[in-house]
Amino acid sequence: MSLIELQRDLRDWLVREDRWSARRLGDDAAPGLRVYLNNYRAQLVACLDDSFARTRDWIGEAAFRQSVIAHVERVPPSSWTLDAYTRDFPATLSLLYPSDAEVAELAWIDCALGEAFVGPDASVADAAMLGEIDWDNAMLHFTPTLDLGDLSTNAPAIWSALAAGDMPPAVEYLPEPGAVLVWRHEQVSRFRAIDQIERQALLAARGGLSFADMCEGIVAACGQDRGVALSGQLLGQWLADGLISRVEERPVSI
């Protein structure tokens, strides 16, 4: 047997417990194959256990264990880092809990907080240094750990209550689709629920739209007075949150 055939057989044993692959590896290999299978599964289970604490709190130990088993069977790991193995678990939970959207949304928050924790470092814009900025030509640059998830329930409130050891609120569906914002500031991963106006503004500004153009979009959605006020509020909130890493003035064409 060539090396690549041997490695494919061992992979197929681990991923699918394929008996034919096991047989090709030799009759004497059975005890060792059981050890490797146990080690493989234990690593993946431990990874998901460590990364989805609030999701586990919400659905309970037994249901979480079943979900983890289903995920390990459904999604073999593909990256050199176990951190990456967490990324598809919310999708597995969506399949397992099609009528309970808060489960996958809690898992998304767990996962995104973990990713933000080890995301790239970045400076934070100092609000006191921004007095001289020409805001008509300003471009906002956001912290690279910023991530946005879709939200249809009050999952952030449930997550916070579970983390604090409080009785979580009952599931509530939002009157209109919302979003949850995750980022890291001062070495701590954070999140907050946001509405569609803020979500669109963040996506536009992060996508390269100038601050002035972003404000115009908010004014178009909310009207002149409310739009202008809201734009200022959002900028202040983003600066206070540590979401903005720097503000750059766009070169003015003559």
Nearest Cα to Cα of residue 10 among 40, 47, 48, 46: 40
* Ranges within 5-34 binding another protein (CB under 8 A): 6-8, 10-11, 14-15, 25-26, 28-29, 31-34
Tell me if 80 contacts another protein by CB under 8 A. Answer: yes
Closer residue to another protein, CB minimum distance, 47 or 230: 47
Closer residue to another protein, CB minimum distance, 34 or 250: 34
CB of 33 to another protein, least distance (A): 7
CB of 25 to another protein, least distance (A): 7
Determine which residue in the list 18, 24, 63, 77 makes contact with another protein, applying CB under 8 A. 77
Tell me if 156 contacts another protein by CB under 8 A. Answer: no
CB of 232 to another protein, least distance (A): 31
Determine which residue in the list 16, 19, 23, 39 makes contact with another protein, applying CB under 8 A. 39
119's tokens: 């995301």
Determine which residue in the list 79, 99, 224, 253 makes contact with another protein, applying CB under 8 A. 79
224's tokens: 């002149």
Place of tokens 């998901």: 48
Return all residues near 245 (Cβ < 8 A) that are at least 6 apart. Answer: 122, 123, 124, 125, 141, 142, 143, 144
Question: Other C-beta atoms within 10 Å of 38: how many?
Answer: 10
Place of tokens 């256990």: 49
With beta carbons less than 8 A apart as the criterion, state whether 190 and 182 touch.
yes
| Cβ density class 161-189: b for 16+ within 10 Å, e for less | bbeeeeebeebeeeeeebbbbbbbbeeeb
Question: Would you tell me which residues interact with another protein (CB under 8 A)?
Answer: 2-4, 6-8, 10-11, 14-15, 25-26, 28-29, 31-36, 39-40, 43-44, 47, 76-83, 85, 116-122, 144, 184, 187
